[in-house]
Amino acid sequence: MKFDTIIIGGGLSGLIAGIELSRKGQKCMIVSAGQSALHFFSGSLELCGLEDEPAKAMEQLPQSHPYRKIGLDTALTLAERVKPLFAEVGVNFKGNAERNHWRITPLGVLKRAWLTLDEYASVPSDGLMPWKKVALLNIDGFLDFHTSYIAAGLAERGVECVVKGISMPELERLRHNPTEMRSTNIAKTLTGELIGKLAARINEYAKDVDAVLMPAVVGLAGNADVVRLKEKVDRPLHFLATLPPSVPGIRLQMMLKRHFQKLGGVYMLGDTVREGVFEGDRLAGIMTVNHGDTCFKADNFILASGSFFSKGLVSDINGVREPVFGLDVDSLDERPQWYRKDMFEAQPYMSFGVATDVGFHPSRNGQPVENLYATGSVLSNCHPMKEGSGAGVAILTALHVADTILKNQ
């Protein structure tokens, strides 16, 4: 079976690359070994969070950083394409690349963000809290949302929180099984006509507050339930991130995937690439676990297989490996060098990844593979946590590589 481009990895980076290539007429296939890290999505995307202005923050990054390989000017131009691209998929974000705003973490702390989902609570760039008094609601029995942390965090910034729990008979059923009372199962229940009932319950506490904040447990299948709930609640309603799984992250994953498929893309979930078929310096095809002796061929390949969580990188007693093709990896040889004792310091292992040239070509045994590219968190020399750059690197490298492939075709 022959494609123009085959992408290994079906998360944020792989899907963005797939969508960009498909909308320009390429025949693409994505192979994904299980679901992606978007299931842990905070509701916000980060570009570079080291300073208020991403452009300035990016100047602090080393020459080997993926943004530097793209070129900072080009990277910022690519960033302008992201909001419209998501809007086309059906997901609306607020924010811009000129100046970071602040997102509110599940622990009630503010962190810099580039784009935040429209329906989420956020704090403007100047850091001034937009509310004096809010109703902070949770669903009774839901253990993945901790109002006391958030209320304490907001109180420190002068926001008074009225903390309330919501019960509904339909949700009580879920409490039979506390380990499964997860955001997604609540969202599967809180849909359709229950949205009206939920709004009525929320309005009981929304009388004399500036806004209502609640966990993101609505809108798994699409935006419709979110829109309806916001309409029916008397005060401005904003969502806050829960602990995983992330309802808006799963919706984003689903909508990106659907959009990719609508553009003609083939998405293979739950399959693992066993090996690459190399011809000289080129990758000719891939073999997968599910498809036995069928070889999937393409002109170009993108490795967007993620970091350690998604098994794009694997570590064992002998070191760090890239398990799909055995590509060269940037890492440190001595295991004690991988970690710092202070957990809050930048951990060296987080910057490990596939070594690439400036064109994002990985190499095998020192030899670059000319029609293979790597994008997203499998790349080396990026500190997503410290820099606040994970989503930006995933998206911008994907767009950049897609542009390169289209230019060379």
Binding footprint of another protein on the chain (CB under 8 A): 1, 33-37, 39-40, 173-174, 176-177, 179-180, 182, 184-185, 188, 244-245, 250, 261, 266, 268-272, 274, 288-294, 309-311, 323
CB of 130 to another protein, least distance (A): 32
CB of 33 to another protein, least distance (A): 7
DSSP summary character for residue 163: E
CB within 8 A of 104, min separation 6: which ones?
A: 110, 121, 122, 123, 150, 153, 154, 240, 241
CA separation for the pair 222, 254 (Å, rounded): 9
Residue 33 or residue 405: which is nearer to another protein going by CB?
Answer: 33
> 144: which 2 tokens?
């993945």
CB of 179 to another protein, least distance (A): 5
Residue 18 or residue 153: which is nearer to another protein going by CB?
Answer: 18
CB of 180 to another protein, least distance (A): 5
Hunting for tokens 């901790």 — which residue is that? 146
Residue 72 or residue 287: which is nearer to another protein going by CB?
Answer: 287
Buried b (16+ CB within 10 A) or exposed e, 239-251: bbbbbbbbbbbbb
DSSP 282-317: EEEEEEESTTTTPEEEEEEEEE---STTTTSSEEET
CB of 34 to another protein, least distance (A): 4
Hunting for tokens 């080291």 — which residue is that? 50
Partners of 117 in the beta sheet?
Answer: 93
Residue 37 or residue 50: which is nearer to another protein going by CB?
Answer: 37
Buried b (16+ CB within 10 A) or exposed e, 162-197: bebebebeebeebeeeeeebbbbbbbebbbeebbee
Residue 66 or residue 249: which is nearer to another protein going by CB?
Answer: 249
CB of 124 to another protein, least distance (A): 33
Picking from 224, 172, 174, the residue whose alpha carbon sits closest to that of residue 195 is 224
Residue 25 or residue 34: which is nearer to another protein going by CB?
Answer: 34
Residue pair 320/329 in contact by the 8 Å Cβ criterion: yes
Give the pairing of strands 133-139 and 160-166: parallel
Residue 185 or residue 363: which is nearer to another protein going by CB?
Answer: 185
CB of 97 to another protein, least distance (A): 30
